Each structure stands twice: as structure tokens, then as C-alpha cells.
Structure 1
Amino acid sequence: TYLEVNPDIAAAGVNPFSHYIVTGRGEGRSLKIDLGFRYEILKAAPSLEDRVRWLRESSPDPEPSDVQHLVSALQQVGASTRLHITISHDDFTANLGGVQLCLTRESEAMRARDATHIHLYPAAAGLVIEFERRQPMVGVLINGERVGFFSAETLVEHLGPFATDRVLTFAVHSFLGHSIITMTAVLRAMNAQEGFFWIHDFASVCANYALMRNDVAFCGAPPPDSPACSVCLYGRRRRIHLAEHGRFFQAFAMTVLAPSQAALDLWLSSFPVKPAATKVHPHAKLRKRKADGEGGDRRGPLKVAFLGMPAPHKGWPVYERLVERFADDPRYEFHHLGKTKDPAIEAKFTAVEPTPEIAEPMAAAVEALEIDVAVIWSLCPETFCFTAYEAVAGGAKVVTNPDAGNVPRFVAETKNGLVAQDEHALMAMFQRGDVLPLGRAVRGQPLYSLSYSKMSADFVAETLS
């Protein structure tokens, strides 16, 4: 109860309801004993093995497609002597997200160079890499068109000869859902020798691709035999992920491509096999717009927004607490921009969803709503974070934490916001008003556009010239 959590109010003999309404809410006092959102996640979390089993039961492999579909599709690609293979966790033409948009740009760039693009993805979605099933089915796209689902033996039989006398390049964007042994066999059948491996996340380092110990805190990727891993529900499968990815790196000369130095540093410190080469290649860069000027005269509360999916690992519970604490503070106006609304929070919701038609929908929404500050409080290390770049492109500043990977580096290097050491520091920052100078009316409102990379295509240009 309120009096149990606030014994000073009980001792004073004050009516708890009246005190909370008049004073307690503004002071940030709790209504009940709150063990925090991390406790709630731990209490409700099923085991990883249960989650893997449930997903396999709900999303089984489809029946294999007619092999003639693959044969016909390969015959129709024409006389192109260039072949580019990509591997990821899903059909990038059917889903929208950061990795999918990256693959779309890579595919378009390779096809513009007259290369045949073949994309391989798991027919059944997977939380982890596949090693238990003997014959996992593989989905195939050729030049952006879905061909069907085939066994590894079928792919070896038909893709091997197809690659003969063609200049072959390949890029791995994710092995989640795949059997790495299967993918190795397919690539060897095509006589692949070297390729690219993208650090979009840390699935190559752990079964938890976000490096969240028990889904509640960034672990720092300690040694796999450490006590920290022994108490984590991902510990056992982490060893499998490291071993399987390690064998792949021993089979091929892999150049690791990371979208940020922060991502590369963390990966290098935790992966057991030295790659053939490494490069930092940002997915996008900010370019100052010539139109839409500096400064503004808008008055009113500081517009603060959470951008994207309201998920725990993205820091949504922390933002919820921030809104609850300062909802009645006239200095602030809280927003949520994203695809899914949480009706429990007192924040103005604006629907924003990635579409192929709008290059930067979040940036456009941030600009249109004149958001001053984006709270990007990822609890896990972001390898790049398009959201942070789009926030700044739309004229907002960013408030983040030290564990958010590339986000605090981006903020510090570009001077586009503040880094709060933890949740308590974040609350204190808003209480003191340290974020108020980040308002557009105070610091102006520079606007940017994003210049996107062509992903792996930027590195295979010479090979295919």
C-alpha cells in the first residue's frame, strides 16, 4: 500500500489518497512496492528451450516446393556472369525492418550491376541457429522473386552447377533460423572462398542476439565459461552459437562489416576466431539540408518522444516511468511515435511505420510534430540505430544511456544530445530541467537527410568490374 511504501506519510497521519494527488505524484512517490520491470520479466519468463519448442510447433517447415520451379527460375536469369548470394533470417521482401531495408538496398545495387541475386532464408522462423533438425527447409528468392522452399541437398545439386563460370560473392546478414552446416555445404558447392559477414546484432556471439542476460540487462559478453553465463538462460546455447559461427569463419575467409566502431569493438572482444579483415561501414550518414532553416520561435512545453517499438529491451519501461513521473509537469509534453500503441501510457501516439515509399518515415514524423528530444534508452548495445539518426535528421536531440552501443557514441561525436548514466540520472535530469536547453526554440532546429550505403555492394564493385 501507499503508506507501507511511504512510512513518513503514515507517521504524519496524512490521508494517503489526498497526499498522493496533491503532493506525492509530483514527488515521484510509488503507490505500491515496486520491484521494477526487470523483476516482472524474470518472474514471467519461460525457458529458452520452451520458447524454441513453441516457435517450432507454431511455425513448422512447409512442404518442399517442386524442384522444377528452381530449375526454371535459374534458367530465366539470362547470361549474367555475376552472382551474389545473401543469407539472412527472413524473406526481406515480405517484412519491413532495419535489416530488411539494408538487404533491399544491397539487392537493388547488385542487380543494377547486372548481377543475379539469390537470397537464402529459413523457411521456418527461428529464435536461434538451427542444429537439431536434420533437414531444415530453405527459402529462395531470385532477383527479389520468391521461388520456393528447398532442401539443402536440392540447393547443392542445382546452385553448385549454376555458380560455375560465374563471379561469385556472398554476404551473411544473419544465421538465425539456419543450420550453419547446411549453409556451409551450399556455399562450398558453389566453390565460395571468401565473403562478407555483417554485424547487425550479436547472434554470432550469443543465442541472445542483444546480449541481454536473462532478457533484463546488458551482459558485456563475458567468457562463455564464466559464472555470469552459467546463471543465464542463454548460456548453454551461447556455446553452440560461438562454436558454429567459429567453424564457419574457419571454413571461409570472412571480412566482417560493422555499421559502427562500437559494434566492431564489442564483437572483436567476444568472438573466438580472428576474421580475414574488418571494416566499419555505416548504414547511413547525415547530410545537412540546405532548405528549412536554423532556429525557430515555437513556444510551449518541451516535446519528448519515444520512437519505435514499445519493447523492454528498447527501454520502454523506463520511458513509461518517466512519463508517469512528469505527466503533470507543464515543462514537458510526452509522445510515442511507432507502429503499436500502448494505451496504458499518458503519451500522445502517432502511428509511424516503415514503408518502401517513404525513405525516412520516423524523421518526417519527428519534423512534422516538432519533437525536441527523443529518448532512445536501449538496454542492449545498438550496432547502428537508424532511429537515432532519423531523430536527429528530423531536428530532435537524443537522450540515451551508456549501454546503448552506438547511440551514446553517435550522440557524443555529433554533439546531438545527452547521455545519462542510468535511470536515476535520467529522472534527475528531467527534474532539474537539464534537458530544457535541448528545445528547438533554444538551440535552433537544424534538419538533415540520410545518405544510405549500398551495403556489401560498396565492397564488391571492384570484384564485379
Structure 2
Amino acid sequence: MSDRPIAVIILGMHRSGTSLLAQTVRSLGVYLGDDHQMVPPREDNPEGFWEHAEIVAVHDELLARLSSSWDATKPLPEQWWLTGAGMASRARLTDIIARDFSKHPLWGFKDPRTCLLLPLWQSVFDELNIEPRYILSLRNPLNVAASLYKRDQFQNDKSYAMWNLYVLSSLYYTSHERRIVIDYDRLLEQPAETGRKISDFLDIPYGAMERARVGGLPKPSLRHASFSMQDVWEDQLVPAIVRQTFQLGMMGERDSNALCKEELHESVQNSYDQLLQLNRLLSHEKSHRIRMYWAGADERFTEDKSTYITVSTNGQKNLHTVEIREHLGSVLRIDFFAEPAYFKLSKLSLVYDGQEVNLLRDYAKDYVQFLPFTRPGEEAGCVSGISTGSSSQLVIRDLPPHGMAATLRLELSCSFGIGEDVVQALQLERPAEAALSYALHDASLRIERLLTANAEKEKALGLAAGQIEQQIDTLELLCEDSRKREAKLTALSLELQEQRAEASRLNAEIERREQRAKEDQILLIRQKDLEIENYRRDVAAYAGSLSWKVTLPLRMAREIGRRAKRGLKKKAKSLLQRYAIQRNRNSRYAGLTGRLPHKQYALVFSHTNYLESMGGTEKYIYEQASYLSQNNVGTIQIFPGQSYSLLHTKEDTFYGVVVNDQFRGFYSVREIMEWLSRIHKYLAEIYTHHLLNWQIRDYTALLQNVEKSGVLPQTFFMHDFFALCSSYHMMYQPKIRQSIVEAKERRSCIADVASAAGTGAAICQNCTHGIVLAEWREALKPVLHQSDRIVVPSDFVKVTVAAVYPDITNKIRVRGHLIFDRQTIIYKPRPENRKIRLAFLGYKMENKGWLLWERLYKDEALGRLYEFHHIGSQEKYADQVTVHSYSFLREGKMGAPDLLISQDIDLVLLWSIVPESYSYTLQESIAAGVPVLTSPLSGNIAATIDAHPELGMILNGEDELKAFLFDSEHVRNYVSGDRARYVLEYNHLPTGRREARS
């Protein structure tokens, strides 16, 4: 957030959704003023205008003094903000901000007229040191024209000219300012997503509550017309400059960065220059409004008891009919517009209950700032006169009793051109008043000039006073800063003294303990020496005794038996191993001597048989083998027969061999080495997927044996963090058992390791996995250096690996296991008349959030709102959960997505409590177009959703997850709408090219 106060200015043409946009920013925490300061709702905008009434009044008066109005079609005069009217309005706006908004660091206002008056406002922001941020509401000009025709009967040409002036002015005057463009149609259809865009622009939080508030603002009644963008391009009656302005606005809406580029600034500049030269769009007559108020039952005039008519100033007589659907009361007031003009009200009648009453002839009339007179030969029963002030009024009292609805009929003409006959009639009727009016007008001009001069002097004095106040504030801040530093220095000195005293005490304690330890050690040594001496004496006594000599043969027999037993065990184990090897050779398969059908083979090292296990790594190997087979390349996989330890040097180890999707048996390392030597000519590339359960000695022996017969390209995959630590999920586990129980410190240590940047992280010193960490990495470092490429599934893994092994960063390639192909957009309807469907996807493992899943489906309150499904379970384990089994081998990559789609799943829970390096289940959920719920602990799942929030939500803990789930109406809205679906394809890794190695 900026250090300066921020003003949010909502721009846009009338009837373009600025009121809804104002509601949206208000719901995000932007202060727009108190409710009593707002313009009240009217029939043409029942949801409210959300406009500061006094700011709108200043705008209207300024436009009137500049001979313009809200429906202007041409720009204001050059340098209009430096005129007397502009300077006076500037002072009033400054006072309003100081009075109503100065205590709010984030405030804003909305009035479409601001588009025309931006230079004035920008000078106010500069003077008050306020940072403006502009939000432009853009609506299809065809829809705006239709709305203006319905409300004000404006012809399309005039509406296009107004739209172009407002939108182009807002783009032109906000060049090089911070701004965004919001499409009104998108705001109606995707309010929550648009709210996220606005909150990011304003640097304010956007949580679940804000999303819910914003999502509920649009109403179906707000969409009154539905012209498309294509209609703008195809309608030949839309002027080219309007289409061009609309295109510039949509460019800024689609790409906020485009708003900052010089290409768009130049295009807007050229269009604005063109606007100044076009007269065809600027030749329309200005319209004016006459407002009518009725007192009602409470005998008070208010905005909600009023309406208006739009009149022309061409002097022609027009008949207007106004329907009023409530009781008028006893008084009717007609407010003429502020500019001096000649009015002739030929007829004003009230129609009710089948009868019509002439209000001009039969009822009392009062005039306010209105000069009535009678022209020679004018018919009786009419009112003629000149408005003489900004609040000219005709008041008719003692209206006849009538029902709850009535109709007013007016026959009216008005003109700014006051002819000689009008002047003569006025002089004949009131010669003294005419002379007085001329004198008053002259005095008013002199007073206005004096006020302008006085305002300029006050401004200069105010600026000088402000500078002095700023200097005083700066000096006070410097003094305060100096005092704080002195106090901090004193506190640091006291703290240093305390630390020195504590250090002296600790040193004395250490010396005392060391001395006590030395004394205890000496005492222990003396006790051991005494025990040894006593033992020697006992042995000597026994050796000379008769019992010792008699039992000697028995003791020797027991020792011989133990040795024989150990020998039998060793021989039996050897026989079983030989039997296993012989059985492999005599199996129905060809063993390691069979024919190899392919001319080229990829040699794969991994930790399990990919034909039996279906974890993420095995799925990738299966897809890789299938792809290679399609390209006439076979696959040879070698995996451990038992769970060996990486750093052990155990003999007689056995490893399984799979050739072309056929298991060939378990063999010793020596046998596999001999076989690989014989078939070396078939080997094309080496892929190491995982070394879990391997002895590093066996792996390097096999690798060196292959290298003897010729160098092959090597690719090392890091599907998790096994190459960094024996805790392949990078979970910190304290050495002291009590700390696990008491503090529950088992947590991810990725951030700590990454921040250590290649050096030993402090957290590793207290972790059980840190005991062998140095030896672990030293064993794996030669393997990584030997590899030509190191493939990781995500940037999340790359950052951590590069921090631990910075010297191999140039070898790291980020390549996900799957890619998304053939996108389709579907509309997901809101779940009605059924429960919401929540699914758990994947294995029943604690690390995958299984314990949380159990708590959710056992919650009776949630059970009344949700159906629980488990995609991928082979057993029915709870009545509350519907299980769906599938086989990756049979149904392929789209098995899980197809199940999610066919069961119409609304949400997927991927609540991993360990950081995932990659997630097949996430890719399957995205392919099905189902939103994901996850926790910040889930590693790459959380990182992916943080980068693409449309894919799901990250919820901070079980409480926040349940709060979201229990808000079922919000969830139903959240899961509905447009969703993208994809077809998953294997992301093939191109063949590696061996780099030169010494």
C-alpha cells in the first residue's frame, strides 16, 4: 500500500455500470462517504447511484458555467480549469476532501461527469499529495445508446457522440497514470473474478468473505440490453471513431500492461485530436431538465418524491405527460434549470378520478427567482417569465383532494433567446425592476471578480502556510527520531551489559561442569580398574577350582554347537539364493538369455516394478515405456528385490529385471552386469528415475560396467527430494523424542534448506535425517555430476535442488509428466436439489490427508450437505462414502478424469500434509475441470493453485476448510460457471545428447 492516501476514481459513461462498480469497490473496503451524503436512488437507478451528492452538485454547476452539461458531445474549452469558474470549483472540491475524506487512507468517489473534468481533479490531487488510481467502466456503446433512448429519448447519433467523448476523455487524461479497465459485461457475469482483479490493483486483501460479498452484488435486472462486441463491428451506423475508441478500451481491459505502452497512448492521442476536428458528432442540441417535486403526506420535499422531464430550448411548444403513482399532497413545486431563460407554461393540469383541473388558473402560485410577466395579446391562464437564479421555482399550493395516483399534463416552451418583444413586455410591466436588475447584474460581476482575486490570494497564503507546516512537521519528526535513537541506544547498552553478565555466568557454569565431568571420569576409571582387578582374581580362583575344570568340556560343546548353527543358517541361505536363481533360469520366460526383439533399448533404474505399483513415478515410467515402444525402442528396468539402504555395503543383493513389460526374475548384481555387457550394443540411453531401496555401491557398479563398453547419454529424474535427503518428502524430524510429542515439530524443512543456499542448514543439525546427511549427499553428488540432464517436474523442486547443488543448476530441466491438450469449455450449472459432491482422489495415505478425509465424511452436519466419493479406492470402507475403482493400466491417463466427469464431482480434496514435488491427482482434477481444495503444506499443488487461482482454493487449516464447506450457498455459486477441460497426454522427453566429459 502507498504511503500517501489513495483516491479511487471510478470513470465511465452514463449508463455504463459505474454504480455497480462503485458498489463493488465499496464492498472491498473503499470509503465513498456516509449514506446520508449519497444521491438517493431513483426509478431509473433503483440500486442507488453511490455518488457523493455535493461533488455531483459542484460538477453540474461547473459544467453549467462553462455552457455545457452532463449530455455534452464536445470537449470543454481549452484551459477551462484556469477560468474563474474552474478555480472556484477547485476550492470547493478541496474543502470537500478535507472535510469528508482526509481521515481515510483509501477513499473514492464516482460520477460519470468526472471523465470531462479530470484536469481539475488532477490538480487537486497534486496539491493534496494524494495518489489517484483510476478504474474505467467500459460498456458496449450500442447497449449505452439503447439505455439512453429508453430513459431520455436520445437519438443514437447523440448517444454515440456522448459515449465517445466520455470514454476517450478518460483514456486521454489518465495516460501515464495507474489505471485499469473493467468490462461491464464481465463484471455482471464474473463478479468474483473481477473483484480479484480490482483488489490486486488496489493492493487490498481478497479473501472468502470479500469474494462472497462481491459475487452477490449483480442482479439479473441490471442487464437491459444485450448487443455483442461483434454487433459493434458489423453495425454500419456506428461511427468509425466510436469503434476505434471501443477497441482501444477493450485492449486495455484484456491486457493491463497494454495501458502502459506508448502504442496505446499514441492511438488515444490521435483519436482525441481527431475528435477535436469532427463537427458532425458535436452538432447536437443541448438538452435540459425541469424537475418536479410534490410534498406528499408529510408535506416535505425530498428527492424520492420527485421526477423530471427533458425539454428542448428551441422555443417550440411541447406537451409532456407525467404519471405519478403516489399521493401528491397539497403543494407542487417546479424547478427550472439554472441558466437564465424565457419560459412559457401554456398549460398545467392535474388529472385524477376522471376529471382534469387547471392548476394555473384556479390555484395560488408563488415564484422564487422567477420574473413573471404578461406579454401583449397573450392568452389568459398561462404563465410566462424569466428564470433569474440557480433555484428558479414555480410553487402551486392548496392542490385539490385526489387519490393515490394522478397525472400531470404540461404544455411548455422555453428558449435562451430573449427577444425584443419579451424585453419590452418586461419593461412595460416593471420598469423599475428592470433598471434594478441591470444594476444588480453589474454589481454581481464586480463581486465575482473580487471573489476570484480573493480566492487566488487565499490559495497563495494556504500554499505558503502548508509549506511552513510541512517544515515544522519535518523538524518535529527529526527531533522525535533523534529521541527514539537515543532511547534505543540506551536500551541496547543495558541489554549488552546484561548479555555480558549472562555470558560470564554461563562461562563460570561451563567451567564448573567441565571440572565436575573430569572428576566423574577419573572416579569412573578408578571404579572400572577395581572391577577388572576383581574379575582377574575371580578368574584365577575359578581356574584353580575343581568345578571350573569339570565344566570346561560342557562350555566347549556349547560353543561348538553355536558355531555349527551359524554355519547351517549360512548354508541354508546360500542354498535358497541358488534355488531362486535356478528357478529364474528355468521359468517360463527366457530369463536374461532370451531374444531381444527391438534394435534399441532404454535402460531404466527405479525403485519398484512399474507393472505392479501405480504411484506417480511408476505411472510416468509406464507412459515412457509405452511411448518408446511406439517408436520401436524397448525398455529394460532394474529395481531392488528388497529394501536396501543407500549407504550400506551388503553382499549378495538381488535386483529384479523387467524387459518389454515382462518380469524376467531376480538376479545378483554380477549376473546383471554380465548380461548388460552382452547386450550393450542394444542400449541407447540411460534413465535413472529413483534410487530408493538401492545400495549406491550396486548402482554405480552397474553404471560403470555399462560405461566400459561405451558411453551412453544419462538422464537423472528427481520425482521427489530423495537426492537431497533420506527424508524424500523433506520433513524435519527432531532427534529428541520428547520434542516430537510436545511440540509436534515434524514439518517441511524446504524453506530452511533453500535459504541456506548450498551450505548446511541449521535445522539439519537437530534432525534425525541430518545424522547421515553429509555422507548421503557425497554419495549422490558423483551420480548427479555424471548425468547429462537432471529432470525435475516443477519449478518448486528446481529451486530447492539448485540451492543444495548450485554447481548442477545448468543441467536442470523443468518438465512436467503430463501436458494438457484439446481444451474444451463447458458450463457447470449450479448444483440444485441435490447435495454437493466432494471427492478424495488417490491412495489411502496419511501423507495425502487421509485422517482429515475421515473426519470430514464422519461429520454428520457435513453429511447433510455433501455426498462423499473416493476415486481410486478398491474397497468399500464406509457407508457415507461412494467408492469408484479404476485401473491406470486398463483405462490410461484419462481413467480418473473420466470418472470425475461421469460422477459430476463438484470439488476434489487434495490435502497433502507433505510438500508434493508433482501431483498426478492435481493434473487429473484440472483435466476434469473440477476445482481443488488444498493446504499451504502441499508443495507444488499449492504453488500451482497460487499461480492459477481459477483452479481451486488454498485454505489455511482444517477450521478454514470447514468454514468454507459449511457455507454451502457460497460453495454452490463457486463450483458453477464456465470450466475448462482437457485431454491428458504424456509429456515425452526428447532423446538426450551426451555432453563431453573428461
Q: TM-score range by the shorter chain?
A: 0.7 to 0.9
Deviation, 1:418, is: 0.9
The worse-fitting range, judged by mean Cα deviation, of 280-289 and 70-79 is 70-79
> How far apart, CA to CA, are the structure 1 residues paired with 2:771 and 2:915?
21
The code of the aligned residue for 2:715 comes to F
| Deviations, residues 400-449 of structure 1 (Å, cap 9, x unaligned) | 12221221232234421111133333233334559615654x22444322
Q: Which residue of 2 aligns with 1:186?
A: 702
Q: How does 1:387-426 map to 2 (within 5 A)?
A: 387-414=921-948, 415-426=950-961
Q: Which residue of 1 aligns with 2:605?
A: 87
Q: Which residue of 2 aligns with 1:111?
A: 629
| Deviations, residues 207-234 of structure 1 (Å, cap 9, x unaligned) | 1222223494222263695553344343
> How far apart, CA to CA, are the structure 2 residues paired with 1:155 and 1:211?
33
Query: Structure 1 residues 375 and 249 mapped into 2: Cα distance closer, same or farther (>3 Å)?
Result: same
Supply the RMSD in Å over aligned alpha carbons.
3.3
> How far apart, CA to CA, are the structure 2 residues paired with 1:168 and 1:231?
44
> Number of residue pairs matched?
395
The code of the aligned residue for 2:852 comes to V
Q: Which residue of 2 aligns with 1:219?
A: 749
Q: Which residue of 2 aligns with 1:39?
A: none
The worse-fitting range, judged by mean Cα deviation, of 303-312 and 107-116 is 107-116
> How far apart, CA to CA, are the structure 1 residues paired with 2:970 and 2:773?
40
Equivalent of 1:133 in 628, 650, 658: 650
Deviation, 1:172, is: 0.7
Equivalent of 1:369 in 881, 888, 903: 903
| Deviations, residues 332-351 of structure 1 (Å, cap 9, x unaligned) | 333333325584x6742313
The worse-fitting range, judged by mean Cα deviation, of 264-273 and 321-330 is 321-330
The code of the aligned residue for 2:767 comes to C
Question: Does 2:884 match 1:354?
Answer: no
Query: Structure 1 residues 261 and 171 mapped into 2: Cα distance closer, same or farther (>3 Å)?
Result: same
Equivalent of 1:120 in 634, 638, 659: 638
Q: How does 1:40-51 map to 2 (within 5 A)?
A: none
Deviation, 1:103, is: 0.9
Equivalent of 1:261 in 780, 785, 795: 795
Deviation, 1:130, is: 5.5
Query: Structure 1 residues 272 and 219 mapped into 2: Cα distance closer, same or farther (>3 Å)?
Result: same
Equivalent of 2:670 in 150, 153, 157: 153
Query: Structure 1 residues 233 and 461 mapped into 2: Cα distance closer, same or farther (>3 Å)?
Result: closer
Between Structure 1 and Structure 2, which shows a larger proportion of helix residues? 2
Aligned-partner SS, 2:867: strand
Query: Structure 1 residues 152 and 445 mapped into 2: Cα distance closer, same or farther (>3 Å)?
Result: same
Deviation, 1:171, is: 0.7
Deviation, 1:384, is: 1.6
Aligned-partner SS, 1:384: coil
Query: Structure 1 residues 438 and 131 mapped into 2: Cα distance closer, same or farther (>3 Å)?
Result: farther
Deviation, 1:65, is: 2.2
The worse-fitting range, judged by mean Cα deviation, of 60-69 and 325-334 is 60-69
Aligned-partner SS, 2:937: coil
- Percent identity for Structure 1 against Structure 2: 19
> How far apart, CA to CA, are the structure 2 residues paired with 1:193 and 1:453?
22
Question: Does 2:987 match 1:459?
Answer: no
Equivalent of 2:783 in 216, 223, 248: 248
| Deviations, residues 355-389 of structure 1 (Å, cap 9, x unaligned) | 31112322122112211111111111212211112
Deviation, 1:108, is: 2.2
> How far apart, CA to CA, are the structure 2 residues paired with 1:453 and 1:438?
34
Deviation, 1:397, is: 0.4
Query: Structure 1 residues 354 and 275 mapped into 2: Cα distance closer, same or farther (>3 Å)?
Result: farther
Q: How does 1:265-284 map to 2 (within 5 A)?
A: 265-271=799-805, 274=808, 277-284=811-818
| Deviations, residues 81-108 of structure 1 (Å, cap 9, x unaligned) | x331100001112222322221112122
Deviation, 1:158, is: 2.9
Aligned-partner SS, 2:622: helix
Query: Structure 1 residues 286 and 112 mapped into 2: Cα distance closer, same or farther (>3 Å)?
Result: closer
> How far apart, CA to CA, are the structure 2 residues paired with 1:203 and 1:330?
43
> How far apart, CA to CA, are the structure 2 residues paired with 1:218 and 1:328?
30
The code of the aligned residue for 2:626 comes to E
> How far apart, CA to CA, are the structure 2 residues paired with 1:61 and 1:380?
39
| Deviations, residues 26-47 of structure 1 (Å, cap 9, x unaligned) | xxxxxxxxxxxxxxxxxxxxxx
The code of the aligned residue for 1:349 comes to T
> How far apart, CA to CA, are the structure 2 residues paired with 1:375 and 1:107?
30
Q: Which residue of 2 aligns with 1:48?
A: none
Q: TM (normalized to structure 1)?
A: 0.74
> How far apart, CA to CA, are the structure 2 residues paired with 1:207 and 1:65?
31
Question: Does 2:727 match 1:208?
Answer: yes
> How far apart, CA to CA, are the structure 1 residues paired with 2:585 and 2:929?
52
> How far apart, CA to CA, are the structure 2 residues paired with 1:244 and 1:213?
21
Q: Which residue of 1 aligns with 2:829?
A: 296
Q: Structure 1: any 5+ residue segments left out of the alignment?
A: 1-59
> How far apart, CA to CA, are the structure 1 residues paired with 2:822 and 2:846?
33
Aligned-partner SS, 1:418: strand
The code of the aligned residue for 1:278 comes to I
- Contact 1:381–1:405 (CA<8 Å) still a contact in 2? yes
> How far apart, CA to CA, are the structure 2 residues paired with 1:134 and 1:263?
34
Q: How does 1:14-53 map to 2 (within 5 A)?
A: none
- Contact 2:689–2:717 (CA<8 Å) still a contact in 1? yes
The worse-fitting range, judged by mean Cα deviation, of 266-275 and 176-185 is 266-275
> How far apart, CA to CA, are the structure 1 residues paired with 2:862 and 2:952?
24
The code of the aligned residue for 2:674 comes to E
